[in-house]
Amino acid sequence: MGIRDLLLEVARTYDASEGTRSEVVGQRVLREVASRTDLPLPSGLFAEGHGGQTSAAATPWIGVFDPEINSSAVKGVYLAYIFSADLQTVSLTLQQGITHLEYRLGKGKARQEHLRRKAARLRRAAAIQRRNGWVDEPELRHEAARPKAYEAASVIARIYDVADLPEEASLESDLVYAADALKRTSTADRLWWFEDTNGQLELNYPPDDHMLHQEDPLAGFQPKDSSDYIANIAAKQQIKRRRHEELISEFGLHIAACGFRPTTRLKHPRDLVLHRQDEEQGMGDEWLVEAKVVRDGNPTEAVRHAVGQLLEYSHFLYSEKGLPEPHLIGLFTEDVGVYSSYLERRGIASIWQTRSEWDGSPSAKKWGMIA
């Protein structure tokens, strides 16, 4: 059975007036979604059906979750197929969690307004390319607080007429598109606090061994070997990829061609320091570069580490010693998305690798470090 058959089965069997007892057919169909293995979901995603707990839901729904982003609908972002109260339509929607807002904002218009504002911000921040047929909000055709909140919480939605559902291939294509939008939106979602503020971000970052590493510095710009090596850790072998050193090495060659002098010698724990080639050593502006590897397409941790270390080094290695503070650059293995503007607003430029060249933020372009 595919997505199309499941949606049709829910629409055919669900009846809110029958309650939530286990023998109710529509409820059973929804509860069995979590154990089904025949649904063609994008790799790594899982689904759960919801028809209410103590009372039947006015608008039954099927949640689709990426466990790397979210595993419940309480808060954060996720995907859902939500049926209208009359079961005439079902909408695939990129949703924000609504339950966690009840304590602070209640269940009425304040929560709806908050969700609608944040949905608009997420839409802009994630730069979602709108496909034909997609809208901002579904129409759930019920005046209760929860359906109204679902409407307001929608970032994007694709509304299907149950009587004229698209073919399975089209439904699967829409789900793949929505899953990709979910990944991009989740990055922006992590930027904001629970409160409806503009631009505040938690800067908690776990310490690593970056500052504890005590090996002798290398001469001039001579980054460490970027080949793979084997490390024995806790009685097991792990293959370590020195992507960090490779990133510094490749960027050093690039930035030298742009008229800058990269230096790693005697700069530890700093990754890299830049000066213009036409200026004497120790004179003119200095750029402090912190290099980070973006893992699994999610830049959150890489950005947090870079911000913490750049601010730390700027303070302790420059300000505290009476030296002029350097320009700050976060160097990444791939595009950091919405974090680029976040860093820029805090005085930190960002530069990242593309398939064949380098790209970055406005400050990096202004300094002539990228085209």
- Whether 205 maps to a domain, the answer reads no
What are 68-98's pLDDT values in tens digits?
Answer: 888 889 888 999 999 999 999 999 999 999 9
Q: Is residue 217 a part of any domain in this protein?
A: no
Please indicate, yes or no, if residue 214 is contained in any of the structural domains.
Answer: no
- How far is 162 from 318, CA to CA, in rounded Å? 64
H helical segments located in 137-234: 145-153, 168-189
- Domain count along the chain: 2
Give pLDDT tens digits for 225-251. 444 433 443 433 333 346 888 888 889
Q: Which helix (H) or strand (E) holds 78?
A: strand 77-83
Residues 177 and 258 in one domain: no
**Is the distance from CB of 58 to CB of 14 less than 8 angstroms?**
no
Those residues with Cβ within 8 angstroms of residue 341's Cβ, 6 or more apart along the chain or in another chain = 361
Of 54-58, 152-156, 266-270, minimum mean pLDDT range = 266-270
317-366 pLDDT, tens digit each: 999 889 999 999 999 999 999 999 999 999 999 999 987 789 999 999 99
Tell me the mean pLDDT in the region 307-322: 92
Q: Read off the CATH number of the domain in which 338 is found.
A: 3.40.1350
CATH number at residue 177: 3.30.920
pLDDT digits (tens, 9 = 90+) for 180-189: 999 888 877 7
Is residue 185 located within the same domain as residue 36?
yes
Give the closest residue to 306 by CA, choosing from 352, 275, 265, 274. Answer: 352
* Distances, alpha carbon 140 to alpha carbons 33, 145, 149, 168, 369, in Å: 21, 11, 10, 23, 50
Asked if 100 and 249 sit in the same domain, the reply is no
For residues 237 and 165, membership in a common domain is answered with no
Determine if residue 332 is left, alpha or beta; phi over 0 gives left, psi from -120 to 50 gives alpha, anything else beta: beta
The parent domain of residue 315 ranges over 229-366
Q: What is the pLDDT of residue 112?
A: 93
- 230 or 51, which is more confident: 51
Mark whether 56 and 152 lie in a shared domain. yes
Q: What is the pTM of this model?
A: 0.54
pLDDT above 50: residue 196: no
Instruction: For residue 62, tell me if it sits in a domain.
Output: yes
Residues 148 and 43 in one domain: yes
Q: Are residues 16 and 80 in the same domain?
A: yes
